[in-house]
Chain A
Amino acid sequence: MGKSVDPQPVDEMAYEQAFAELEGIVSILESEQRPLEEAMALFERGQALAKRCAELLDKAEIKVRQLTGEETEDFVEE
């Protein structure tokens, strides 16, 4: 969580990515002493990530595509 790396906007993150970062933040907060201000920032990011994950789970829907030759296209079930 160094200041040098710009964190990715939460809204653009995939579930796995968001959840992995959330887990990382939780273990940092659980195991390390961070300055309060930094901890607050981590906590807020964690909350945003948790919200993002919940939203992604709620609206998750499998997208099915199919290969046609060298291209891919949406697959429509019969």
Chain B
Amino acid sequence: MDQLPLFNVPARWTVAELTRYLRQLLESDETLQGIWVQGEISNLARPASGHLYFTLKDSAASLRCVMWRNEVSRLRLALQDGMAVEVHGGIRVYEPQGQYQLQADAIRPLGEGALYQEFLRLKAALEAEGLFDAARKRPIPERPRLIGIVTSPTGAALRDMLNTLRRRYPLADVILAPSPVQGDEAPPGLVSALQTLNRLARPDVILLARGGGSLEDLWAFNDERVVRAVFASEAPVITGVGHETDFTLADFAADLRAPTPTAAAELATPVTMLDLQAQLTETTARLGGAMSALFERQRSLLDGLQSNLHFFSPLRRVQTERQRLDELARRGNAAQTHRLVLERSQLEGLERRLGALNPLAVLNRGYAVVTHKRDNRIVSSRLAVKFDDDLNVRVTDGEFDVRVTQ
């Protein structure tokens, strides 16, 4: 193997010879023994041996990588598939499989990989500080009067949110605090928008939102300044950043996390126009019902009072008295009649007795009353008359004159 290959080319190669030849070629190249290679980790495998196997790839090619256990133990990164990294090492050939591979001795994050590491580090730090505590999350008001929105004034996110709010709860007013939502100016812009909104407008709830984008696009919402501003907001904050699968640190600090801007607008309006209309209809019906019931109560109360009034009425006493009077009168009349009858019969008795005492009554029995015609004196003795006296004789049915002749 110490000859220069080009000067000693065998007529026929064994596989082992060729592989060994290639191995010598590659591993003797100093350039290839200390390189940084950029790529995305895939097919990450950690067998029980403790070594690390993965493939580093980009859009055009892939490179097998191995990292031995002692190097792995010095690794500061939690490697994951998809992570963009820079791997340091040298090219080796693994003869049994005829493969060349990068034998890694160091890995450092790159691009999204680095951002993600930063994300994890910051997340852990802020979590430890209590910024994500569930206990401090505030309830979202059911019927916001003023909804603050922090987003780009030109994005589709704003349009989506306004449409949703108009449709669901047009009673609310909206105040927009415009801010860039990506790039270096985004974090200070978002912080300032949140602060100004709280200070000047005092909204009932704030929507912090932006539409979907790459991880870098959404990165401002992982900025520590922004996360702290969300935490410090006086009004409860609902985040709606990116798509359903995107989680930002602002989401963790928010009082409520929505998967999208539209969903954030929905969560900010838990009570909708339809709810309000149904509620109003029901309450108006209850108002009428309560009044009818009240009238009903009053009417039956009144009926009761009226019958009481009737029962205790002075009119009723007058009637009673009148009835008594009638009764008395009736009884009085009866007594009177009785007395009259009595008196009449008494009178008749008296008349009879009087009749019996009438001196003329004896005439009935054939007696006569004789009187002098000249002086009407009753003749009761022979000595009272003399010859030729004119006398009057009265019998029961009349009288006649006579003359004494003897």
Which residues of A pack against B, CB within 8 Å? 14-16, 19, 22-23, 25-26, 29-30, 36, 39, 43, 46-47, 50, 53-54, 56-57, 60-67, 70, 72, 75, 77-78
Contact = CB atoms under 8 A, between A and B. Distances in A.
Contact of B283 (A15, A19, A60): A19
A32 to B, nearest CB: 10
Given A62-B173, A62-B174, A36 B287 contact: no
A78 B279 CA distance: 35
B273 interface: yes
Given A65-B173, A77-B162, A47 B197 contact: no
Interface of chain B, main secondary structure: helix
Contact of B171 (A26, A47, A60, A67): A60
Interface residues of B, number: 36
B145 interface: yes
Contact of A63 (B153, B173, B298): B173
A22 B286 CA distance: 10
> A16, A36, A56, A67: which has the most chain B beta carbons within 10 Å?
A67
B175 interface: yes
A50 to B, nearest CB: 4
B287 A62 contact: no
Nearest to A14: B145
Given A16-B145, A78-B154, A26 B175 contact: no
A67 B193 contact: yes
A26 B196 contact: no
Contacts of A47: 287
A34 to B, nearest CB: 8
A67 B279 CA distance: 34
A26 B286 CA distance: 7
A18 B213 CA distance: 44
Nearest to A76: B153
B287 A72 contact: no
Contact of A26 (B176, B178, B290): B290
Contact of A66 (B171, B172, B175): B175
B159 interface: yes
B166 A62 contact: yes
A39 B294 contact: yes
Given A47-B287, A64-B162, 8 more contacts: A16-B143, A16-B171, A29-B294, A61-B170, A63-B174, A65-B174, A65-B175, A70-B196
B277 interface: yes
Contacts of B347: none
A57 B298 contact: no
Interface string B123-156: 0000000000000000000010100000001100
- Ranked nearest first, the 4 interchain pairs of A and B with the lowest CB-CB distance are A29-B290, A60-B170, A66-B176, A50-B284
B14 to A, nearest CB: 73
Contacts of A50: 280, 283-284, 287
Of the listed residues B174, B277, B287, B294, the one surrounded by the most CB atoms of chain A closer than 10 A to its CB is B287
Contact of A65 (B172, B176, B280): B176
Contact of B287 (A14, A43, A65): A43
A66 B152 CA distance: 11
Contact of A64 (B174, B291, B298): B174
A66 B177 contact: yes
Nearest to A35: B298
Contact of A57 (B154, B173, B276): B276
